[in-house]
Structure 1
Amino acid sequence: MSMLPNLAPKKSSAPTSSQPSAGDVDKKDKKEDTVKLLLQMWAVMIGFELIHQILNVVMSFMDPTALRTVAREQAEAQGMSDEIVNATVVAAILFMGFINLIIIAILSWMVMIVKKRSKRLPTAFLLLTIFSFFFILRVLMLFFASPGANDVPMALFAIDGCVQILVGVSAGVAYALSRTDEPVQMLTEYAPADIKRK
């Protein structure tokens, strides 16, 4: 099953008129409202994901036991000191947070591309749809997970879990909106000419 809807234009036998009717205006307004709501849902999804990643970095600093265990095993094999182990753990946490921030920045850029209807619109739409589907699956797996850190307050785990649920809910709404007729029509209008001819 393809993530992108079918971009082939629908054939219509109805005669076209030079003057737009009231029904056409209403359909255009409906299409713009649906696309606007879709963009808002993607923006909400990305915003909550940013909060989740910040909380993830904070919790990793509060209890880096798992990372420190792995780093200490490597350090013992290579004869490194505890200072190097601690520095490695801090660097790993910051690096993972930086990578996640880059992904969030790319998703924000994709939302701007869809909003401006630029030539990369199909690629941006596909990437946002894939991540929406990923966030939906992640929130489903959240109900089977259990806190593994001991030094992190349970309230912080609860807050992070609520944020992840909000990410999943907004992603689900965005995914449902992306499969409606209005975004499909938007993709058809801004698709490259070779795609439209197929």
Structure 2
Amino acid sequence: MSMLPNLSPKKAPPVGAKDSTNSAKKADGEKTDDTIKLLITMWSVMIGLELVHQILNVVMSFLDPTELRAVAKEQAGAQGLSDQIVDATVVAAILVMGLFNLLIIAIMAWMVTVVKKRGRRLPTAFLLLTIFSFFFILRMLMLFFASPGGSDVPMALFAIDGCVQILTAVSAGVAYALSRRDEPVKMLQDYVPDDTKR
């Protein structure tokens, strides 16, 4: 029995077997990329539909600011303010609420960009987008228990806004289902902060 290691060259695997292994790895990588791309797409659709909903919300508030005007008149009556100031306050309140909602949408869009680029705040962005997905689903469920009261807003506009909210929730539900799959979970597990890489 020889004490020397076996120096004979190893038999190369058949060409077909090697190619099939490489193609299998490539297919797995493409599947992972496709899942994450689809997840990002669904989050993007969710944010786009939410933007449409907020625009419709501002339009409906301008069409029928009765509730806001009633609240403003109560406060203005105690301070002796004129109707012009009340109207200006209502317009300012609608615009401020709209800008605040647009700021939230901008933050969500930034979070999607962070996930897409796998940036430094990837886990935080993933968590926030998941929380917003839950919120949109719950809001849709509450939508079925709400009914528009007497309002100057056309019923068709309420119907369009309701459809947009339902589509937003559907996109959020699909995104949440995709975020629970193995590929996004593995992306989070493999994530290493920039500070650790140095």
TM-score, normalising length: structure 2 = 0.85
Maintained 8 Å contact 2:69/2:86? yes
User: Is the Cα contact below 8 Å between 2:69 and 2:87 reproduced in 1?
Assistant: yes
- How many residues in Structure 1 have an aligned counterpart in Structure 2? 176
Task: Provide the residue aligned with 2:75 in structure 1.
Answer: 74
Question: What is the Cα deviation at residue 190 of structure 1?
Answer: 1.5
Deviation at 1:73, TM superposition (A): 0.3
Structure 1 residue 169 and structure 2 residue 170: aligned?
Answer: yes
Separation in 1, partners of 2:106, 2:155: 29
Which amino acid in 1 is paired with 2:191? Y
Separation of aligned partners in 1, 2:194 and 2:115: 18
Q: Which runs of 5+ in 1 are unaligned?
A: 1-19
TM-score (norm 1): 0.85
2:122 match: 121
The percent identity for this pair of structures is: 73
User: Post-superposition shift, 1:151?
Assistant: 0.3
Given that 2:43 and 2:171 are in contact with CA atoms closer than 8 Å, whether structure 1 keeps it comes out as: yes
* 2:190 match: secondary structure: helix
Name the counterpart of 2:48.
47
RMSD: 1.6
Segment drifting more, 179-188 vs 141-150: 141-150
**Deviations along 1:133-192, whole A, 9 cap, x unmatched?**
100000011000111351000000000000000000000000110111000011112144
1:32-53 CA deviation, whole Å, 9 max, x = no partner? 0000000000000000000000
Greater relative contact order (Cα < 8 A, sep 6+) = 1
1:122-141 alignment runs, 5 A limit: 122-141=123-142
- Show the counterpart of 1:182: 183
Distance 2:185 2:71 in 1: 47
Q: Aligned AA for 1:171?
A: A
| Counterparts of 2:106 and 2:151, CA distance in 1 | 31
Is the contact between residue 120 and residue 194 of structure 2 (CA under 8 Å) also seen in structure 1? no
CA distance in 1, matches of 2:77, 2:149: 24
Distance 1:79 1:169 in 2: 48
Output aligned runs, 1:21-170, within 5 Å.
Answer: 21-170=22-171
Question: Structure 2: any 5+ residue segments left out of the alignment?
Answer: 1-20
CA distance in 2, matches of 1:186, 1:111: 14
Asked if 1 retains the 8 angstrom alpha-carbon contact of 2:53 and 2:161, the reply is: yes
